[in-house]
Amino acid sequence: MSEFDLVIRNAHCATAADVFDADIGIKDGRIVALAQGLKSAEGTEEIDAAGRWVLPGGIDGHCHLDQPMNDGSKMADDFLSGTRSAACGGTTTVLPFACQFKGQSLRDAVEDYHRRAKGKASIDYTFHLIVSDPTPDVLNRELPELIKEGYTSFKIYMTYDDLKLNDREVIDVLAVARDHGAMVMVHAENTDCIAWLTERLLKAGHTAPRFHAQSRPMLVEREATHRAISFAELVDVPILIVHVSGREAIEQIRWAQGNGLRIYGETCPQYLFLTADDLGLDDEHDHSHGAKCICSPPPRDKANQQVVWDGLESGVFQVFSSDHAPFTFEGPEGKYAAGADASFDKIPNGVPGLETRLPLLFSHGVLTGRIDICQFVALTSTNVAKMYGLYPKKGSIAIGADADLTIWDTGLDRVIRNADLHHNVDYTPYEGIPVSAWPTLTLSRGKTVWANGQYHGQAGHGQFLHCELPTPARPKSRGQKP
Ligand code: URP
Ligand code: ZN
Ligand code: ZN
């Protein structure tokens, strides 16, 4: 029997720490050898990667697939189409959300989500929990039990009527995370400011998608970010502020990091490539295409895009996720589920982006020299694996790691077109943006899922991953907290 199932020859590898040239030996889905001039038995399958980057597969730490909605909309991507699209863009692990509705037990939400995923995924996956109803039973029994079982991260919302927690509830959830070592992701926007602004805009007849941005200005995000940071400091627990959109929230995070608080930051492609203008221009009644780019927090302006790039470069951000939230533009279950003339506040939030996340950042970040290749790997894979307890099985090129790998074509002259993507959404907000890099091959545990423009994934190949407790350097306590 051959020592390897597959050898990748002449790989120009990058990890979050190193760049090296090696042949990669793969057996039973794992990397078992890294060496130059690796000997292999005759007949062993080989791929020549000469002249190409070989990187750990992407890990998308924030995406929404088949998440039940209660506003009449339905997500267009489930675990089948979502993982297909991810694989075709170089991602080999996804972390969507098992969402608790108010009144529902967390366990119920998790079991329902397992049923939705079962047999469909072509790449590996795990779940974050969304905690929307932190009853005493959830806090004292369900969460600790689920954390022990490998659901070690949860998202909380400071806005959205059906999901939001009040300040006391946020503090209570953070305290559970501290006691049990879990990671909390925070959607930081001030819900009362949004409600007040929305009411005024609607009263004035400002219903078009572009007013979404005016209902959620940066101060709304800045205030909630500051509050979340204060609560994390009070409880003495690390948190991740997700989908950070621009300067004001970044300043809060940078301030906290500079003061020794364990505050982490995530940003997403929409804050690098979209602006509020993509929600529509001046016509008050223009409902044409702006709904496609409605997401929260909203995209800002060019100057803020630059501040987000600076944050990626300087290390304010640890993770770069898609926040893929797939709603079609046409059709009765998508952006206009509430009717063709729905006001901006009735349009489901979110943009698709699983497949385009890595090519966009590689092309406009690495190949322009804004970030280096090791930063790219850290932001899109390694840090995500560490943050959510998947490292070192995922997120690296190392002996013993899963053979989740991408081989990249660079120097391409290509433009993003929705027609070329593999999600079930009828648009991409990134239509027409040039990209010069795209994976030519994606391997999930040694199996080809994407090669030379063809999808080869198999529903059911993807496995559920139980997370360990997260591994960022986390000194237990900075002070004497009860
Ligand atoms: O607009 C967004 N971001 N939609 C997805 C849900 C969320 O809050 O992440
Ligand atoms: Zn959110
Ligand atoms: Zn999200």
- C-alpha 158/C-alpha 178 separation (Å) is 19
Strands (E), 291-337: 319-320
**Which residue's CA is the nearest one to ligand 1's atom 5?**
350
Is the shortest distance between the CB of 349 and ligand 1 below 6 Å? yes
Strands 319-320 vs 263-267: parallel, antiparallel or unpaired: parallel
CA of 276 from ligand 1 middle (Å) equals 16
pLDDT of residue 2: 78
**Residue of 64, 69, 323 best suited for mutating to test ligand 1, as the one with most atoms within 8 Å of CB:** 323
Cα distance between residue 337 and residue 343, in whole Å: 11
Specify the ligand 1 atom closest to the Cα of 325.
Answer: 5
Among the bound ligands, the one closest to the CA of 351:
1
Choose one of 349, 351, 354 to mutate for the ligand 1 pocket test, by most ligand atoms within 8 angstroms of C-beta.
349
| Prior bond of 392 cis (ω within 30°) | yes
Q: Decide if 221 contacts 188 (C-beta within 8 A).
A: yes
The segments of the chain whose pLDDT lies below 50 read: 473-482
Residues with CB under 5 A from ligand 3 (ion): 323
Task: Quote the ligand 1 centre to 64 CA distance (angstroms).
Answer: 8
| Atom of ligand 1 minimally distant from the CA of 157 | 8
Q: Give CATH for domain 58-375.
A: 3.20.20.140
Interatomic CA distance for residues 56 and 68, integer angstroms? 31
187 within ligand 1 shell (Cβ under 6 A): yes
Ligand 1 neighbour 350 (Cβ under 6 A): yes
Backbone φ and ψ for 405, nearest 5 degrees, come out as: -140, 155
How many angstroms does the Cα of residue 299 sit away from the middle of ligand 2? 13
Q: Is 64 in the pocket of ligand 1 (CB under 6 A)?
A: yes
Nearest ligand atom owner, CA of 62: 3
Using DSSP, how many helices (H) and how many strands (E) does the chain show? 14, 21
Q: What is the distance in A from the centroid of ligand 1 to the CA of 96?
A: 12
Q: What is the pLDDT of residue 287?
A: 61
Ligand 1: does its nearest atom lie under 6 Å from the Cβ of 155?
Answer: no
Distance 208 CA to ligand 3 centre (A): 23
Q: At 27, phi and psi to the nearest 5?
A: -140, 135
pLDDT attached to residue 160: 96
CA of 359 to the centre of ligand 2 (A): 23
| Half-sphere exposure for 450 (CA within 13 Å, toward CB) | 29
HEC per residue, 226-273: HHHHHHHHHHCCCEEECCCCCHHHHHHHHHHHHCCCCEEEEECCHHHH
Q: What order do you get walking across the sheet with 128-130 strand by strand?
A: 97-99, 128-130, 153-157, 183-187, 239-241, 263-267, 319-320
Average pLDDT, the chain: 95
Q: For residue 281, what pLDDT is reported?
A: 76
323 lines ligand 1 (CB under 6 A): yes
What is the model's pTM?
A: 0.96
Helices 218-235 and 247-258 sit at what angle, rounded to 10 degrees?
Answer: 20
Indicate if ligand 1 lies below 6 Å from the C-beta of 132. no
393 CA from centroid of ligand 3 (Å): 25
The terminus-to-terminus CA distance of the chain in angstroms comes to 58
Q: Is 53 helix (H, G, I), strand (E, B) or coil?
A: strand
Q: How far is CA 275 from the centre of its chain?
A: 19
For 60, 67, 239, 442, the CA distances from 125, given in Å and listed in that order, are 9, 14, 22, 16
Q: Decide: 73 in ligand 1 pocket, CB within 6 A.
A: no
- Per the listing, tokens 């995530």 go with 266
Distance (angstroms) between ligand 2 centre and the Cα of 296 equals: 7
- Residue located nearest, by CA, to atom 4 of ligand 1: 350
